[in-house]
Amino acid sequence: MKKNYGKGDVSWFQDARFGMFIHWGLYALPARHEWIKYYEKISDADYQKYFDHFNPDMFNPKEWAKAAREAGMKYFVITAKHHEGFCLWDTKYTDYKITNTQFKRDALREIVDAFREEGLHVGLYYSLIDWHHPEFEADMAHPWNHEEIKKSGVKRDQKKYNQYMRNQVEELLTQFGKIDIIWFDFSYPQHGKGHKEWESEKLVKLIRKLQPHILIDNRLDLEGAEDFVSPEQYVPVDGMRDEKGNLLVWEGCQTFSGAWGYHRDENTWKSNKMLIEMLINHVCKGGNLLLNVGPTARGVLDCRAIDRLQAIGAWMKFHNRAIYGCTIAPENMVPPEDCRYTYNPETKRLYVHIFAWPFKALHLPGMAGKVKYAQLLNDASEIKMRDEKADIHAGLNAKSPQRALTLELPTVQPNVEVPVIELFLK
Ligand code: GLC
């Protein structure tokens, strides 16, 4: 039996559909992956140089917030603390925090204020894993493996670490105003870090007491406590569903390139078209997209990210109503090849996203008689329609199983990355 831990408010979240993930910490300095301390087995003493040199002189979160809003994002989630343990706010529970670097400023506070000012909902990421805290019980996800720590004779008390987490979460949920999402990362019960080890239940009760409306992700390994599930680095083929096949609330988190933190030499950046299609691929399966940026150690967004955010924004400017408030299409509506459907149940409009522009005609199976009016979304120009039973020019014949609605397309694709046709259903 699933326990009832209360539920957060998903209404705004499912309307919003598109958010910005921000991974920022000391790992921006080595600039070769946020897991660098782990991958290169760097000791605390050697990692200290990044703390000592942390001084993002160009930090201006208003620019980040503006870039997010202009890309069409409606919320953001920032790493208040990532696995390295470094805290972006002026916490009283550790010295390992931004206000003790030469930079001195409470970046988290400035970031939250800036994004709120741009009208975005606020989300905080908090790492369960901590490679710096002396009481975090070391395991296979630690730069020093368990055996080494055991041999060194250092005793660690995970309970103390759990109390530290609760104290910090309490700070985060009492000192920064209304927080819309708390995003924990991550559990691995098969290797000794699950809800029991984290004392997830206590954490969730505390969270619900402090901010009952808040959304909690599904990485605390506590069944029934999550408001949404969080597939990462892939798009689920049919959305995320429960055992009975019901659609869950879900948010895919994705990177522009292979890493989350700023990674200078990682060059597998996705193209603008791929990213826009990725957004559509989330929404057409009933999900959200949380798209990640890793600001540099100067405190600015990577120019490769800025270019892409601007391209997404240019598309969103004309197509956002095919995203906001939209979800999976009614079950009997199956898009033709190279197309995706998103659907707004309130306005009863169906959006046909065309990933590969066809020649002259687009046949929508089973849609004959169901559409009042059709237009290209980018310029609201009419798209003529005809009901297709049998038409040699369309290549359909009388044996076609379902009656198609044929859209008459201009020969040349409109000058947008992914054209969308808006259908007003009867
Ligand atoms: C993975 C990575 C972590 C990143 C997270 C985002 O868990 O380990 O670095 O923060 O994905 O979902």
Domain 11-322, second-level architecture: Alpha-Beta Barrel (3.20)
Ligand 1, atom nearest to 23 Cα: 10
pLDDT score recorded for residue 151: 83
Q: Where in the chain is the domain with CATH 2.60.40.1180?
A: 339-425
The residues near 344 (Cβ < 8 Å, ≥ 6 apart) are 321, 325, 326, 327, 351
Which ligand 1 atom is nearest residue 125's CA?
10
Using only the alpha carbons of the chain, give its radius of gyration: 24
pLDDT for the residue 400: 57
* Beta carbon of 260 within 6 Å of any ligand 1 atom: yes
pLDDT in tens, the chain (426 residues): 678 999 999 999 999 999 999 999 999 999 999 999 999 999 999 999 999 999 999 999 999 999 999 999 999 999 999 999 999 999 999 999 999 999 999 999 999 999 999 999 999 999 999 999 999 998 888 988 778 877 888 889 999 999 999 999 999 999 999 999 999 999 999 999 999 999 999 999 999 999 999 999 999 999 999 999 999 999 999 999 999 999 999 999 999 999 999 999 999 999 999 999 999 999 999 999 999 999 999 999 999 999 999 999 999 999 999 999 999 999 999 999 999 999 999 999 999 999 999 999 999 988 999 999 999 999 999 999 998 765 555 565 655 556 789 999 999 999 999 999 999 999
Query: CA dist 189 to 44, 182, 193, 227, Å?
Result: 26, 20, 5, 20
Question: Ligand 1: which residue has its CA nearest to atom 5?
Answer: 185
pLDDT at 138: 87
What phi and psi, each to the nearest 5 degrees, are found at residue 102?
-65, -15
Q: Is 232 in the pocket of ligand 1 (CB under 6 A)?
A: yes
Q: Are 96 and 132 in contact (CB under 8 A)?
A: yes
Please indicate, yes or no, whether the overall pTM of this predicted structure exceeds 0.75: yes
Ligand 1 nearest-atom number relative to CA 82:
10
Cα dihedral 128, 132, 134, 140 sign: positive
Distance CA 318, CA 337 (A): 23
Phi, psi for 405 (deg, rounded to 5) = -105, 125
Helix (H, G, I), strand (E, B) or coil at 207: helix
Q: Is 185 in the pocket of ligand 1 (CB under 6 A)?
A: yes
Ranges of CATH 3.20.20.80 domains, the chain: 11-322
Nearest to 96 by CA among 87, 107, 105: 87
With b for 16 or more beta-carbon neighbours within 10 A and e for fewer, the 179-198 pattern comes to bbbbbbbbbbeeeebebebb
Confidence (pLDDT) at 398: 56
Q: How far apart are CA 76 and CA 300, in angstroms?
A: 16
Ligand 1 within 6 A of 266 CB? no
217 CB less than 6 Å from ligand 1?
no
Fold observed for domain 339-425: Immunoglobulin-like (2.60.40)
CB 253 near ligand 1, within 6 Å: yes
Give the Cα separation of 203 and 206 in Å (integer).
5
